[in-house]
Chain A
Amino acid sequence: QKEVEQDPGPLSVPEGAIVSLNCTYSNSAFQYFMWYRQYSRKGPELLMYTYSSGNKEDGRFTAQVDKSSKYISLFIRDSQPSDSATYLCATNTGGFKTIFGAGTRLFVKA
């Protein structure tokens, strides 16, 4: 079993839709949770960072962590064609080794 599971998609939505991206993880020691966004032929860039359980909002993006169910979510409101990318969830224990999910490819159609 992978330590972080993520559906690779692809996920296709119309412009303006609410997007929900999800991951599950197996190690209860994970404390830090991240979402990276990767555009085609580019390296991943940090989008959201959350410590422990709870929600964090940044503009149209909301990251949610439920440690009781080991579930990580990213919500995108009013999705735009420019949001089309691969979204990778990631986690670590606070050390220097980050573990990534497989990434979900998102297409937002104009």
Chain B
Amino acid sequence: NAGVTQTPKFRVLKTGQSMTLLCAQDMNHEYMYWYRQDPGMGLRLIHYSVGEGTTAKGEVPDGYNVSRLKKQNFLLGLESAAPSQTSVYFCASTSGQVDSPLHFGNGTRLTVT
């Protein structure tokens, strides 16, 4: 049982380039999230989805887009990368039950030069 899998694990982009981060979960969870983690800032919510075909903005959505075409996958896109988007990106999922924890992937480390 893989849980939450993120690809790629590492990536270096030049300013202005685009890329897509993929998150896949095999727990049949309804809710999926993308967070970024920066030193001293903790985990900040970028976008989230409450079910297949739905997406919503989180705390820091600017510069990112997402799609949830299949229940098990949640994609995060950067259309024109900026150095301020250098961060560690975490995907998480949960069933949505009150006491159900967030299950996290192991992150994608992105550097934008």
Instruction: Count A-B contacts at CB 8 Å.
Output: 50
Question: Would you give 12 A-B contacts (Cβ < 8 Å), ordered by A?
Answer: A34-B101, A43-B90, A43-B107, A51-B99, A88-B43, A94-B98, A96-B48, A97-B58, A101-B42, A102-B40, A102-B41, A103-B43
When the two chains form their complex, are residues A97 and B45 in contact, meaning their CB atoms are under 8 A apart? yes
A60 within 8 A of B: no
Cα–Cα distance between A32 and B45 once the two chains are bound (Å): 18
- Known: A94-B98, A96-B96. Is A42-B42 also a contact (CB below 8 A)? no
- Known: A46-B102, A96-B96, A97-B48. Is A8-B107 also a contact (CB below 8 A)? no
- How many B residues have CB within 8 A of the partner chain? 24
A residues near B4, Cβ cutoff 8 Å? 43
Name, among A36, A41, A45, A100, the residue most crowded by chain B CB atoms within 10 Å (CB to CB).
Answer: A100
Q: Closest residue of chain B to A39, judged by CB?
A: B106
Q: Closest residue of chain A to B44, judged by CB?
A: A100
B residues near A46, Cβ cutoff 8 Å? 101-102
- How many A residues have CB within 8 A of the partner chain? 23
Near A by CB (< 8 A), chain B positions 31-57 give 31, 35, 39-43, 45, 48, 50
Cα–Cα distance between A90 and B94 once the two chains are bound (Å): 15
Output the least CB separation between B72 and chain A (Å): 17
Taken residue by residue from 1 to 23, chain A's Cβ proximity to chain B (1 for < 8 Å, 0 otherwise) reads as 00010101000000000000000
Cα–Cα distance between A41 and B90 once the two chains are bound (Å): 11
